[in-house]
Amino acid sequence: MSVAPIPKKYQDTCRQIITLPDGTQRTQKISWPIDGPANSGWLGGAGLSKEIVQLGQFTIVFEFAGQKTTPVFLSVEDAPILKQIRTGFVFGKLKADDAVFEGHLPTREKVTLMIDNKSSQTLRIARLGGSGPLLSVSIERTDGSYANSFFYPDAELSGKDQGRGLLAFDLYTWEMAEKVPTITLRAGESYRQELSLQAAFDEAQENLPFNPGEYKVRFSTALQILIGNKNGPWADLSPVRLPVSVTATYRLKP
């Protein structure tokens, strides 16, 4: 069966229509992907922006070329256990956003992913790299003359001694956790993964070289986390997707 290409005139008609628990409605325009074939379909993801998050049931409809999907319902509930799972990135030894560094290249600075399990449950987390979550990096010059967004190199994420997941997955489950690289944290345990800032700069220079100046550097990802076990009280909540990001200023000297 042949599949006809999607006409370009329809590629600007994607909308996500969200009805909030309080009855108000928001419409978000969804842009066509900048990568991949321009005339074919695609599978993507979208989240709820912080300003519209409310407890209760959301109704979501996707629209394309005037046609709408069947409504999908999403319930948002308070989950206190999430406050006991502490995640973040640290630039060097500074935990706060907008840390400031300066120096020459190559740099020895590290960016560290931190996960602390302060809950009473065992956590299983899909490890970054391989078939797991991607790590996004953006580098933007503060005067607006340079902008580059890309994925952190997978070889640097996975590590030669850690192996790589060969199975691609969209949803991280307890069954999948047995087949792909997984971080297991029991109650009270922590995990740290150091990442080379130079590896990110090398990737950027290969695709879009940059010169000395002041840059905003951002690392971001979304961790997929299983809480407890598949028959436990948190099974319906799992996998949880926790966004993690940090931004720092790097002043690159000549």
pLDDT tens-digit map of 2-18: 567 778 888 889 999 99
Structure tokens at 28: 């978000």
Residue 40 has pLDDT above 90, yes or no: no
pLDDT grade for 239, boundaries at 50, 70 and 90: very high
Instruction: Write out pLDDT tens, residues 118-162.
Output: 999 999 999 998 778 889 999 999 999 999 999 999 888 865 444
Mean pLDDT computed over every residue of the chain: 86
Query: In 131-225, which ranges are continuous DSSP H helix?
Result: 154-158, 174-177, 197-207
The span from the CA of 110 to the CA of 97, in Å, is 15
The per-residue pLDDT for 131 is 78
Q: Which residues contact 193 (CB under 8 A, 6 or more apart)?
A: 112, 113, 128
pTM: 0.77
Cα–Cα distance for residue pair 243/77, rounded to 1 Å: 17
Structure tokens belonging to residue 225: 């986390």
CA distance 223 to 64: 30
**pLDDT band at residue 97 under the 50/70/90 scheme:** low
The residue written with tokens 């842009």 in the block is 31
Please give the domain boundaries of the chain with CATH numbers for all domains: 11-76 (2.60.40), 80-252 (2.60.40.10)
Q: State pLDDT tens for residues 80-93.
A: 999 999 999 998 76
User: What is the dihedral angle through the alpha carbons of 149, 155, 161, 164, rounded to the nearest 10 degrees?
Assistant: 90
